[in-house]
Structures are given as structure tokens and as C-alpha cells.
Structure 1
Amino acid sequence: MRMLVIGAIGSVAVAVASVATGAPATLQSDLAAAVAAPSRTPANTARDRYRHPAETLAFFAVKPSDTVVEIWPSGGWYTEILAPYVAGKGTYWGVGPWPKGVDGLRGLQEKDAALYGAIKLAAFPADADMPRVPDGTADVVLTFRNVHNWRMGYQRGGIDYAPDAFRQMFAMLKPGGTLGVVDHRLPENADAARERSSGYVKVSTVRQLAEAAGFVFDGASEVNANPRDTADWPDGVWTLPPSYRLKDVDRAKYAAIGESDRMTLRFRKPR
């Protein structure tokens, strides 16, 4: 499996090259088995064709023995894969706006304690009086389609707190640890102001945020790309599935486009 590095990104030139996942065959097999588990919700597995979980997690090289932190897991789409995958050998943390932002994971724990009972919960972003992931303990931190929320100030009164979010993710990781970011991709030539309303964000913005927090860029994959998405829809990214915010207006058109075009970026915390 080979994946393309994103080409020139705004003012930051990135050489076009092929990037292997670096994941050995045994790891890819373990991830494929986790994705194929019958315990996953059918509504979630139906979206695998858009979200490519096995390939994405292989690119981030997530191992069963890792301490994995997922930022804002919401209802637990990736939790259904990751929590059983690391159970017994590693640790899964689900972190979100405290305390309501992790209610979806509490629901999973109540539904199936055997699969999800070992999940650890914490706040993110964490204020001083909130439970948090201990600094320097995570092997991998993953955030799926959240950076645009931080840029838009969701849950924080409209204030852009993406810089603080990246600093907190950096603190969680062990030296040498991995940050994996997936988000809706805004074209580099688009008006940057659209990041505050459309749900899309530029690759260059994510890189600047990560590097300002201390991360080193480690690669990009096109596994979650969708060239049919032009990122200029009447109600932002929520025009497309699965949201269909326009309801029945041009629904067949948006269904044919599919879910959004997404960047998949990997960063390292320096040793």
C-alpha cells in the first residue's frame, strides 16, 4: 500500500513523493481484523468506504500495545475499533469537552462493559480543575475532523483555541510519539476566512498549528481524499453526507459526491 505526499502547500513546499505506511504486514492484519469485528455498529461500518479506518490507522502505525488518546470521539465511531484493538495490551483514552463531551463513551461502557469497560475518560481541552491525560504518557494521539471545530470556536464561545489544543496534545505524548490528524481540506488558494465558517481547514494551517506547538511533520497520505469535493457548498461541509444539512435539496447530487475531501497528516513529537 502506497500513499502520496501532498504537493506544494501554500508557502510551504513539500516534495511530491510516495510514502509507505511503514506498518508491517502483521500490524496491517491486526488492524483489518479490528475493523472487521462483528461488534461494530452497522451504521458505522457503512461509512468505512469513506473513512478508510484500516488504512488510516496503518498510516499512523497504531499498535495493539500503544496508549492511544482519541480527541473528541463523540459517539464512538473510531472507539468501536480502537478500544477493543488495544484492550489487554495497551490503553485507550477518550477525551472531550467535560463532562458531557464523553457521554457517548459512557454509553458504550454501559452497553458492553467487556469491550469498553477499560476506556479511560478525561477532558479536552482540559482546564486546571479537570481530569486530564497525564503528560508524556501517550504513544499516539488521534484527532478526526476536529481542528475545524477548534478554529471555529465550537464549545468555547467562538474563540479560536486551536493553538492551545495542539499544545495540550503535544504535552500528552511521549517523546517520539505520533499525532495523527484527519480533517476536511480547504484548498490552499481559498479565502482563509472560510476556515471560521465552512468546516474546512487548510493543510498549511494545520501544519503551522502543529509545528508552532513543537511537532515535526512526518508525512501525508491521500487515503481519505475525495477529488469530487470542491469545498464550496452552500452550507459548508455539512451540505455533504452524512449531515445533508439541506435535507432533500439536491440530495442525490451530494450523495453522488460522497463525504468530504480530507487531509491525513502525521506528526512526531521530537525525542
Structure 2
Amino acid sequence: MRMRWVGLAAASALMAAGLAGCVVISADGGERTIVQASSATSAPDAYAAIVGDPSRPAADVERDAARHPAEILAFARVAPGDRIADVRPGGGYFTTLFSLAVGPSGHVYGFIPNRTAERDNVTFAPVDERLENTTKVNGDLDAASFAFGEPLDIVFMSQEYHDFTIPRFGVDVDKMNARVFEVLKPGGLYILIDHEAAPGSGISVAGTLHRIEGAALRKQVEAAGFVFEGESAVLRNPADDHSINVFDAAIRGRTDQFVYRFRKPG
């Protein structure tokens, strides 16, 4: 059954009204500064209609407390009419939210790398069937097959970037970031969420702890020409000491995660 559009006009108005209120950490002359909300109504409140849409699967709703979807949508500046690539979307948690947020005038591409397509295509199939404005795309992240037939407003990766630095995945990360840069519109956004690693570890624990140091990721992305715009602290957890595997029951679902926003100049 295809998803119906519920309350889209009201949600769009809220989104337009509330974008200025997001709390982020931005780069300013090499120093990180917290930018406080500019009004009593924060940007996450503007996305409440999207997160509260009754058509969302119950299993997704159960994950909301840990994933803070309203804040993530606000930080990513998702708007009606946007074209978004959700890279390796899994069961479509964010794909569904993006689909509701961009509405019938927008489109969401669930990009599944060839390397994991045999499994991931099956997982994503019910999502693609349920949502009216989505398309599944298979290809290689670091090749011309990372393509969508139109310029994108946002490329989004949640907890996936670290995997692409692991040699067995066979991804040239520099080429991947360059390809993301190419498919985005001028001014388009590259949103990355991942599990933080210990300072100085770089990408060395990506294959063991499934973490990546935020500073190392940022350096790789900026080398492709992106401008770092800021960080949301909504998924940060200072109690995580970055020393154990993210799938360990002691920390799973509660890891310290960075949420970065990069912009293609223009």
C-alpha cells in the first residue's frame, strides 16, 4: 500500500518558519562555537508534523527516542521539493521521513551499493513499494553509476561512511566524495552521521570497532571541495569512551555520534 500525503501543507509551513532555530556547532576561524536557537520555537518543533505522521511504521517510531529525527531533519534543512539520495538506506527509517518531508514535488533515491545489493535490495524493497516518491538505485559509490538523472539537494549517509573506508568494501573514498560533490547542486548539502572514534585513531578502527574519528572524516570530505558548515550535538554521548565495538550490548544504540553538514560552494 502506497503512503498517503497527510498534512503536508501544514508541515511545510512549519518547516519554513522554524529553520532558523537549530542548535549547531559551527566552524569559525578554527574554533567551534555553539549557535543558540534564535526564538522560543526551535527548528525541530517545525518538523513535528513529519515525525508524527501516522503512516510511519511502528518499528520506526520505536527508534525515534534514540535517533532524534526532528532535529536531524532540521539540521539537514530538508524542505518540500528537495531531491535527496539516502545512501545505503537499510530498512528506510530516514527514507520514509525524507519522503514525507519533500512531498509529492520532491524525490528520494535509496542508493544501494553493488557490494551489498544482494541483501540490501531485499530489505529496501517494501520501503520502495510503500512510498510514492522514491526510487531504488544500484551502483558503485566511487563511479559514474552513482547517478540520479538530476542534480541533488542533499546526499545523506547515516552510520555508513566508516564502512566505506574498510578495504574489503573496495571503495575509493576520495573518488566517492568527489562523486558526491558532482551530483549535488551548487549549494547542495552532504550530511554525515557516524560513530565517533578516539582522538588520533583516524580510520584505523573502522573495521574493528566500526567507528571513525570525526576529524579524519572531515579532512577527507573537505579535500573534495566541500565547506564544513557545522555539527549538531544531538547524538553526542560523553559517557561513551570510544573504546568498544558499536555492536557491543554495553553501548549499542547509545554511541557517541557526530552529525556533520558540508556544503558544495555555489
Q: Give the TM-score normalised by structure 2.
A: 0.80
Q: Which one of 67, 71, 90 corresponds to residue 87 of structure 2?
A: 71
Aligned to 1:138: 152
Q: Which of 121, 126, 129 in structure 2 is aligned with 1:107?
A: 126
C-alpha contact 2:226 2:262 (8 A) present in aligned 1:
yes
2:137 paired residue number: 122
Match of 2:174 in 1: 163
| CA distance 1:22–1:169, shift in 2 (3 Å) | farther
Checking the alignment, whether the CA contact within 8 Å between 1:27 and 1:63 is kept in structure 2 is no
For 1:203 and 1:127, locate their aligned partners in 2 and report how far apart those are by CA, in whole Å. Answer: 21
* Equivalence map 1:199-218=2 (5 Å): 199-218=210-229
Preserved contact between residue 197 and residue 212 of structure 2 (Cα < 8 Å): yes
Match of 2:257 among 225, 239, 262: 262
Tell me, in whole angstroms, the C-alpha distance in 2 between the residues paired with 1:191 and 1:127.
21
SS in 2 for 1:38: coil
1:231 correspondence with 2:242: yes
- The sequence identity of aligned pairs, in percent, is 27
Q: State the Cα RMSD in Å.
A: 3.0
Within 2, Cα distance between the matches of 1:217 and 1:22?
A: 21
Aligned length, in residue pairs: 243
Distance 1:266 1:35 in 2: 21
Between the aligned partners of 1:265 and 1:48, the Cα distance in structure 2 is 19
Structure 1 pair 259/124, CA: closer, same or farther in 2 (3 Å)?
farther
1:147, distance to aligned residue in structure 2 (A): 0.8
DSSP-derived class of the 1:196 partner: coil
Distance in 1, matches of 2:141 and 2:46, equals 32
Please name the residue that 1:248 is paired with.
none
TM-score of the two chains, using structure 1 as the length reference: 0.78
2:164 corresponds in structure 1 to 150
Q: Distance in 2 between matches of 1:4 and 1:60?
A: 11
Q: What SS does the aligned partner of 1:62 have?
A: coil
Contact 2:66 2:254 in 1 (8 A): yes
- d(CA) in 2 for partners of 1:221, 1:129: 31
| Counterpart residue type for residue 247 of structure 2 | W
Query: Please, which runs of 5 or more residues in structure 2 have no aligned partner?
Result: 1-20
Conservation of the 8 A alpha-carbon contact between 1:125 and 1:168: no
What residue identity is the alignment partner of 2:25?
Answer: V
Q: 1:53-79 CA distances to partner (integer Å, 9 max, x unpaired)?
A: 110110111112211111110111111
Q: CA deviation at 1:189?
A: 3.6
> Is 1:97 matched up with 2:113?
yes
Distance in 1 of aligned mates of 2:144 and 2:80 = 31
Matched to 2:243, the amino acid is D
Q: Deviations over 1:14-61 (max 9, x none)?
A: 413123579996975552211111222222222212111110110111
Check 1:22–1:152 CA distance in 2 against 1; reply closer, same or farther (3 A cut).
farther
For the residues of structure 2 that align with 1:45 and 1:171, how far apart are their CA atoms?
34
